[in-house]
Amino acid sequence: MTNKQLLILVAAFTALMLRATYARTIQINPAGTVYDLLEQNNLPQGLLPLGVQSYVLGAGGALEVTLSGDCNAFVTFSGRKFEFVYASKVNGVIKSGSISSVSGVSVQVAFAWHVLHQVTRAGNSSTSS
C-alpha cells in the first residue's frame, strides 16, 4: 500500500468516525419544534419568543436556540408580567421540568435587569433565578 493510499484510507476512516460521533451526540430537531420540546419537558412554550429559526439538542440536554436577531418579549409568571430580552443565540441545558445554565436571556424585575440562569417548573407555575 502506497503512502497516498494509506493517507486516503486514514482520511476516510477519520471522516466516518467524526460523522458517527456527531450523529451520536447531536440530534437536530428530534421533537419537532423547540416549543414541542419545551412542552415535552413539562415547561411552558412561552419561555421562548415566537420566530425561533432553529435549534440543536445535544448530548445531556444541551440546547442551542437560534433566533432571527435580538428581541424582547413579555412573559407572565404567577400572574405577573415580565419583560425578557433574548440574544440571537440562547443556550441552556434542558431536563424534565427545568432549563439550567441559561445564557442569552435577561429579565426585567422591578426597574433592574437580571441575567436569567435557570427556570424550574414548580407545580403549575415556573420559577426563575
Average pLDDT, the chain: 77
What are the grid coordinates assigned to 79, written together? 400572574
pLDDT computed for residue 116 by the predictor: 77
The string of DSSP letters for 40-66 reads HTT--GGGS-S-EEEEEEEGGGEEEEE
Please say whether the dihedral angle defined by the alpha carbons of residues 49, 50, 53 and 55, taken in this order, is positive or negative.
Answer: positive
Alpha-carbon span 120 to 129, nearest angstrom: 9
> In terms of pLDDT, which residue wins out, 94 or 17?
94
Q: Which residues contact 25 (CB under 8 A, 6 or more apart)?
A: 58, 59
**Per-residue confidence (pLDDT) for residue 61, from 0 to 100:** 94
What are 31-54's pLDDT values in tens digits? 589 999 999 999 988 889 998 999
Higher-confidence position of 88 and 45: 88
> pTM (2 decimals)?
0.67
